[in-house]
Each structure stands twice: as structure tokens, then as C-alpha cells.
A and B are shown apart, each in its own frame.
Chain A
Amino acid sequence: MNNAVAAARRGMSDLTIRNVFIIPTITFLIIINIFPLFYSLILSFADFSAVSGDPPEWIGIRNYRELLRDPHVWESLYLTMKYVLISVSGQLVVGFSIALLLNRKIPAKGLVTTLLLLPMMMSMAIVGLFWKLLYSPTWGIINYLLGLGKFVWLSNADMALLAIAITDIWMWSPFVMLLSLAGLSAIPQHLYEAAAIDRASGWFTFSRITLPLVTPLLLIAVIFRTLEAFKTFDLAFIMTGGGPGTATELIAIKLYNMAFPQWQTGKSCALAYILLVMIIGISNIYIKYLNKAKER
């Protein structure tokens, strides 16, 4: 009895923790993550369609070669980059600006902050459908408020990508705002007091105190948002289906079309790996800058 009480007080043994938690977790990870990762890597070197019933046929790097020579893939990548740039920079400007406003003493600050966070709590599919209606030239409120008459957004090859990016900015600026607010509230107040004693201008205070100290958190927000924007699928798919033509066919939509409606399993695995390498590359660049910003 005494031994049992002592054991209970000591907590679980290392062996129990290994058997109950670590082994099942690792097994689960291997089945769900590691195995598909390596299996899809193998498939990326094969001519294989999951529905054909034929076994995968080894074709070396042909899938990669064909994809890298395909102008439509490059067009999708270019569109995705453009989308990421517009969307993330928009979120950064809007999110950070709102955070600067909320960092002041304003009435019902908690309520306003909570209300501003609502968009990012919604489902992407719902947001897509909702904004599709807002953009409608016949009854949408956007054209009404901007006095644009029957201006066409989503069926307009020149505006569709921007329209989706605006929706993304609306949805995810609160995320940037939240991180910026955390960074702003962590800046020691005495730095501003010292700047005020030295009669520093508002711009000087912002550029020499606020911005440098909040940059690490802003960069974290940028990393997260870039990765998310890079793989945007739902918003674009629901709002335009990738059209008009290929005007909003982001790389994730291209990958989906290749993998499912067309069932080019091997080729789509290769495209997924190309994207993986690109995302790792972009993340590394950001992380390098993040570390530099932290060192300063």
C-alpha cells in the first residue's frame, strides 16, 4: 500500500510514459505523416494515377521536368506570388495600423478588439461565399458604397485576384493586429518618456522605438501569413473557381485540379514537392531576418 502511494506520488515512470504516450504518438505520426511523405516522394518519380488500377511506373525525374517546363505552372506560381505580395502587405499595413490605434487609450477597447477579431474566426468557405455576394454588381454593397454602379469584380480578369486578396486582407488583418498589439504593449513605457524628454518627434519615436521593437513579432506574423497565403485554396476556389480563364488559378488550385479531378497522382505529388521546397526556402529567408531583428 505504501509502495503504491509512493509510486503515485512519484508520478508515472519513464517506461509508462514511453509506452502510453510516446510510442503511440510516434506510431501515429509515422502512419499519418512520415509514411505519406515518403510514399508521395516515391510516387512523384512515377507515372501513376490512383484510379487507373495500374501500378506506379518509375519514370525518374520526368514529372519534375514536365512541370518545370509547363508555362501554366509558372503562370500559377507567378499569380500566387503576386497574390501573396498584395495580401500579406495589405494585412501588414491594415493590421499594424489598427494595432497602433488600439494601443492608445480608447473607450471600450476590449470590446472593439474582440469585434475586430471576428473575421479570422469565421470559416474560409463562408467568408468566400459571403464576399461573393458583397461583390455582386447587382445587389452587392461594395459597388453601392464605392459608387461603382455595376462594376464587375469576380468575372473581370484584371480585378478578380485583387478582389480575393482584399477578402483575405479583411479576414486576416486581425491576426497581424493581434500580434502587433502584443508587441506594442511589451515596449517599455520609459523609452517613450525618455524620447519625450528629449523632445523627439512622433516619426522619430515611431521609427526608432516602436518599429524596431515590434519588428520581431511583425516578422512572425509575416511568416505565418505568407505560408498561409501561399497555399490559399478555399477562398479563390469558392469565389472564382480559378477563373476567369486562369486569372486566379493559384498554385494550390492547380495542384488540386491535377490531383483530384484529373487524377494525375504522380505528377501532382511532384508539384507538391516543388511547392514544399519553395515554402521551406521562403521560410528560411524570413527566419534569417527574424534572427537578425532579434539580435538588434
Chain B
Amino acid sequence: MVKKGSVFVFAILFFLTVSGAAIAADSLSIFWAEWDPATYLQELVLDFEKETGIKVTVETTPWGDFQTKTFREFAAKGDSWDIVVGDSQWLGAGATQGHYVDLTDWFIKNGVDKSMAPATIVGYAEYPKGSKKYWAVPLEGDANGWAYRKDYFEDPKEKAAFKKKYGYALAVPKTWAQLKDIAEFFHRPSENRYGVAIYTQKDYDAITMGVQNVVFAWGADLGDPKTYRVNGVLNTPAGIEALEFYKELYQFTPPDWGNVFFQGNNQAITEGLAAMSMNYFAFFPALINPSVNKYAKVTGFFANPSGPGGRYASLGGQGASIISYSKKQALAYKFLEWFIRDDVQKKWASLGGYTCNANVLQSKTFLEDTPYNQAFYETMFMVKDFWAVPEYAELLEICQRNWHQYVVGGKGTAKDAMDGIADGWEKIFKKEGRLK
């Protein structure tokens, strides 16, 4: 009796082990941050499962923990996930520290370098920049743009009052100066209505992504990507003026707006707090959903305006990289081959994902699909990114601290902040042997 029971238990265990192994062999795990595009991706991969029988799971973690959790797994050389949809800044670390598989040959063989929009290849796939070495497939294109209250802008009384005060018509701002005027005009704390919502959070890269928009637009840059010289490139009079401008915008934000990122900026619209709100395009689907945003019908969108030095936007978005420690790299390649197909990219865009496929991006269907796709399309031609070198996290800490200290903390001058960043970054570049 006991023997029979043992045999039965053993048989069950054997069956479970074998079937578990079979399931594990035909499955892929993708790691990404917890947000709407990850939900769209989970929906998309069901088609892949139907076609191939390979189950794909999109595992997510909150944004605040995304970078730490990913790199902790890399440090342990773990194979919990086969593909990571990593931030553009991670490329250098992923490539040089051996966490990402070099996709260059596969990339060129499959024509990804031709099918995806050029800016997205540079931003999400290539490292070092200009080297034609690729480490990721552009998966989710993204950049900073703006949501605004159309009803405020179209109100005849407001229009007349604005024209009287500023001498030009109230409309979607074409320049940053106009944007500031509009922010000032609609800033009415007594009515619990404020001018603008901008990124101010100290954690990760939030305030940096916001400040970058104006630094680039004023004609300054984060540094010289060839020589890694920062002094004289970032802390120029234009760069300093751009930072001063960002601080001026901060005074028109809702109260206690000193530690806010994408979630807060969407709330600024959904709660009717601000007239305009800076955010990544990937967060805009929530704003056209009436169950989330009661002002959905009166919410409009526009791309970053121009500054004295041009028109730029901070690049967001991510690329899909195969993790070196994955034991299912062949399956991961198979998935990426499927993902880059034009029909899949169309479906990806229709679900709400921001495709980087040039043909789909330019198509009329895509441009007219949502109220913000046109602005997104415009933006993808003016994007610029943060440093993607392996030491990007150390660089981020310095600029986050200095910019936050000046803009939110109100300490020191814009020049102090910019000089502090330039010196700090050059010190790191020298330590890494990049700056001679």
C-alpha cells in the first residue's frame, strides 16, 4: 500500500517536473516598468503566442524601482527575464558591462536600421553613438510634450483678456516665452487654478528631463559627446538663462509641486489644477479616457515650443534588449523578429504603443488615431537624450541635486548650479578616462 502510494506521488512529481520544464522551455519573460504601454505589450504578445505557441509574460515593477531592480538582477547575472525594455540611458552600461547581447549583425540582417525612425535608432539602440553597433530594438518611442486645457484657451473672455495683457492672441504656444506668458496668465491660486505643471522630482531623472527641454532649446548642450568637455558647453550664458527660465516656470506650478514627475503632472490635468502640463506622450492615453479624466473632451496636446536656440524635446522611451544571462536567447531573437514585422508594428500602434517604425509613424491612420499622435510625430524629429555612458547614474545624481537645489530649494544661483554640474561631470569623465 505504502509502496503504491510512493509510486503514485513520484509519478505526479515527475509529471509536474517534466511539464514544468516543457512550459518553461516554451516561454519568454520580458521585464519593463509598470505603466500602460506594458499592458499594451502584454496584449500584443498574445498574437505571438497564437502564432508560435510560445508564451510571453510581461513582468513589471513600478518606475521608481525599475532601474534598481534591473541592475540588481544584472549584478547577480540572473536569468529571471530574457528581454528587458530598458531606458535609453542604460545602453552604455548594458553594452560595456556585458548585460546586453550585441544585436548588430541581426539588426542589419533584418533591416531594423532601415525600418525604424533614425532618431529612435540613435536613442534606443546604438552605443557608442555613431558607431553603428546596436544593442536594442526600439520598442516604445517617447518624448516630452504637453497637455493643455482647450476650454481655457478657447474661452472668448480669456482670449480677450490675454490679448489685452500680452498684445498677442491666446493660442498654443509657439515659443517658450509664450508658454511662460500663458502660465502666468492662468496662474490664479485664489481660484485653485495654476499655470503650468512641470517635472520637479528629485528621484532618478525627473527634473533633469524637464530642464533638458529648455537647456537644448536655449542652444546649450549637456557636453561635447566627442571630447566629453562640459565646461563651456553646458554652463554657457544661454544654458544658465535656460535654467533661470525653468525656475520662473516653477513659480506658476500648483503649490508644493517640488517633487513631482509624470503621475503628478497627469493629475494636474485630471484634477483641473493646471492649464498646461508637461509629460511624456506615453502617459497621454489616460488623459483622453473620460473615466480617468473628466476633462478628457477639453484636453488638447502640443509639442514642445521653440527656444532662442531651436526646438528640442527630451527623449523618453525604451528599447528591447536581449539579456546576456538568458538561457532562451534563440526564443528572444524569434520574438524580436516577430515584433519588428510591419503588421505587428501596426497592431502595436493601434493598441496604444508608440511604434518607432518609420512607415507606421508617417501613416495617416497613425497620425489621426489619437489627438496627440500628430504632436508625437513632430516631436520625434527634435529629440535629444541624456548621456548614455555607463556612468550615467553618477552623472544624473549630480544634475538632479544641483538643478533641484536651485529650482525647488531656491538655493544659490543658476550659474552655481550649472558650474557645479559641469565640474562634477568633468571629474567623472576624467576618472573614467574619457576626458583628457
Contacts and interface: CB of A to CB of B under 8 A. Distances in A.
A51 B75 contact: yes
21 contacts: A51-B74, A51-B93, A51-B97, A135-B256, A138-B273, A150-B189, A150-B255, A155-B255, A241-B203, A243-B258, A243-B259, A243-B408, A244-B404, A244-B405, A244-B409, A245-B404, A249-B401, A260-B68, A260-B71, A261-B396, A263-B393
B427 to A, nearest CB: 11
A264 interface: yes
A97 interface: no
A77 interface: no
Interface string A26-68: 0000000000000000000000001111000000000000000
Interface core residue of A155, A156, A249 (most chain B CB under 10 Å): A155
Given A51-B75, A247-B409, A262-B394, A138 B404 contact: no
Interface core residue of B68, B192, B393, B396 (most chain A CB under 10 Å): B393
A293 interface: no
A243 B404 contact: yes
Contacts of B257: 155
Interface of B: 67-68, 71-72, 74-75, 93, 97-99, 189, 192, 200-204, 254-259, 273, 390, 393-394, 396-397, 401, 404-406, 408-411
B204 A261 contact: yes
A137 interface: yes
Given A137-B255, A137-B256, A138-B254, A244 B74 contact: no
Given A50-B75, A138-B254, A243 B97 contact: no
Dominant secondary structure at the A interface: loop
A263 B75 CA distance: 10
B192 A245 contact: no
A153 to B, nearest CB: 7
Interface of A: 50-53, 72, 135-138, 150, 152-157, 240-247, 249, 257, 260-264
A186 B433 CA distance: 67
Q: Nearest 3 CB-CB pairs, A to B? A: A155-B258, A245-B405, A245-B409
A261 B393 contact: yes
Contacts of A72: 401
A240 B409 contact: no
Contacts of B74: 51
B401 A245 contact: yes
B256 A262 contact: no
Nearest to B65: A260
Contacts of A153: 256
Given A243-B259, A261-B204, A155 B71 contact: no
Contact of A152 (B71, B99, B255, B397): B255
A157 B393 CA distance: 24
Contacts of A261: 67-68, 204, 393, 396-397
A262 B406 contact: no
Contacts of B203: 241-242
Contacts of B93: 51
A155 B256 contact: yes
B71 A51 contact: yes
Nearest to A239: B259
Interface core residue of A156, A245, A246, A249 (most chain B CB under 10 Å): A245
Contacts of B401: 72, 245-246, 249
A240 B257 CA distance: 11
Contacts of A155: 200, 255-259, 408
A157 B200 CA distance: 14
Contacts of B75: 50-51, 263
B188 to A, nearest CB: 12
Contacts of B404: 243-245
B409 A53 contact: no
A257 B64 CA distance: 12
Given A246-B405, A262-B393, A263-B393, A241 B202 contact: yes
Nearest to B261: A241
A243 to B, nearest CB: 4
A264 B393 CA distance: 10
B397 A154 contact: no
A61 to B, nearest CB: 17
B89 to A, nearest CB: 11
B256 A53 contact: no
A157 B411 CA distance: 9
Nearest to A248: B202
B256 A240 contact: no
A58 to B, nearest CB: 17
B345 to A, nearest CB: 32
A263 B405 CA distance: 23
A154 B405 contact: no
B408 A244 contact: yes
B410 A157 contact: yes
Contacts of B189: 150
Interface core residue of B93, B202, B401, B404 (most chain A CB under 10 Å): B202
A72 B98 CA distance: 32
Given A240-B259, A241-B203, A246-B405, A52 B97 contact: yes
Given A150-B189, A155-B257, A245 B406 contact: yes
B199 to A, nearest CB: 13
A151 B311 CA distance: 36
Nearest to B258: A155
